[in-house]
Each structure stands twice: as structure tokens, then as C-alpha cells.
């Protein structure tokens, strides 16, 4: 349900404190016109999409690889904290620049993340099902015959697809 995904996103972001992941500032429930409404406040991330960034900056292959490695390190950090994003795609990545023009990636939208209670070991097998965005989903996730998926390996496929596009 929408509420469960919202709660999951709050719990996932609360576990993560990394400059490459959108920061959560507060979350809760507010009474708005007599209706209880859940809210989440995060840092304001001003950046641009993967495609806009690549088109505008036209970074060299070396610069692209450095950004991709940065993304892999961010995802590795999340995995070590027990969080698997499960919907890595260009729309959930913002490319920002600091005052010196140095590019940095921010990962957003942890709404369908999977959490693991024992941090430090994010490898987890789960039932098959379509979770994520076509084009960035590991093929085994789309196969109804596959009963056990390694979520980390599926996420590595997504990273590979993004790296290929970069």
C-alpha cells in the first residue's frame, strides 16, 4: 500500500547518512483539515537528470567512469547499512555540481527499498515479482519461474545498465 511504502522510505532513509543520498530531516503525521496526513521532509536537492547532465557537460569517458564509480560506492554504502534501493534508474539520480563545478550524484526515492535487519549483510533472497522500472530490472526478476532472487545481484544489474547509458 502507499502508506507502507511511505513508512518504508522513511525507515530506509533514517538508516542512511551519506552525502550521495538525499537526507531526511523529519517525518511524522500532521492533522490537515481534520485528516491525518503523513509527511516526510528531506533536503532540497538541486540538480539535473543523467541525460541533461551528460548533454550539457559532455564529460569525458574518464569523468563518466568516475561518476559511475561514485554511484557504485553510494549503493555499496546503502547495502552495507542493510538497504537495497530496488529502483535504481536515471530518474532517481540527480547530478549536482558544487561551487567549483565538481559533479556529485544524489540518489533519491527509496519508496520500494528492501530493508534487512542485520546491517552489513544486504544479500537477501526474496520471492520473484516485478519491482522497479523496465530497462533497469535484472532479467531474472522478470522470469516468473525464478523463485529466489539475490537482491544485491539484481541491483548490480541496474548499476550496469546505468553505467552503460553513461
Active site residues: 87
For the chain, the C-alpha Rg in angstroms (whole number) is: 17
CA 85 to CA 75: how far, in whole Å?
8
For cell 544489474, what's the residue?
Answer: 157
Residue 144's alpha-carbon distances to 11, 133, 148, 153, in angstroms, are 29, 16, 10, 17
Are residues 68 and 50 in contact, defined by beta-carbon separation less than 8 angstroms? no
Report CA dihedral (49, 114, 126, 166) to the nearest 10 degrees.
Answer: 20
The strand ranges marked E within the chain are 24-32, 35-42, 83-84, 93-97, 103-107, 114-115, 125-126, 149-150
From first CA to last CA, the distance across the chain in angstroms is: 33
Q: Is 21 left (phi over 0), alpha (psi -120 to 50) or beta?
A: beta
Amino acid at each position: 500500500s502507499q502508506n507502507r511504502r511511505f513508512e518504508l522510505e522513511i525507515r530506509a532513509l533514517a538508516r542512511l547518512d551519506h552525502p550521495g543520498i538525499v537526507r531526511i530531516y523529519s517525518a511524522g503525521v500532521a492533522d490537515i483539515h481534520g485528516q491525518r496526513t503523513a509527511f516526510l521532509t528531506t533536503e532540497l536537492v538541486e540538480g539535473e537528470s543523467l541525460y541533461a547532465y551528460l548533454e550539457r557537460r559532455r564529460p569525458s569517458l574518464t569523468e563518466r567512469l568516475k561518476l559511475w564509480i561514485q554511484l557504485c560506492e553510494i549503493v555499496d554504502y546503502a547495502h552495507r547499512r542493510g538497504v537495497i534501493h530496488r529502483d535504481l534508474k536515471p530518474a532517481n539520480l540527480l547530478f549536482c555540481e558544487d561551487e567549483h563545478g565538481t559533479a556529485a550524484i544524489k540518489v533519491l526515492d527509496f519508496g520500494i527499498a528492501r530493508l534487512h535487519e542485520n546491517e552489513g549483510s544486504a544479500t537477501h533472497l526474496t520471492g520473484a515479482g516485478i519491482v522497479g522500472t523496465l530497462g533497469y530490472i535484472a532479467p531474472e526478476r522478470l522470469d516468473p519461474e525464478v523463485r529466489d532472487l539475490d537482491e544485491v545481484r539484481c541491483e548490480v544489474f541496474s548499476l550496469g545498465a546505468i553505467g552503460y547509458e553513461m
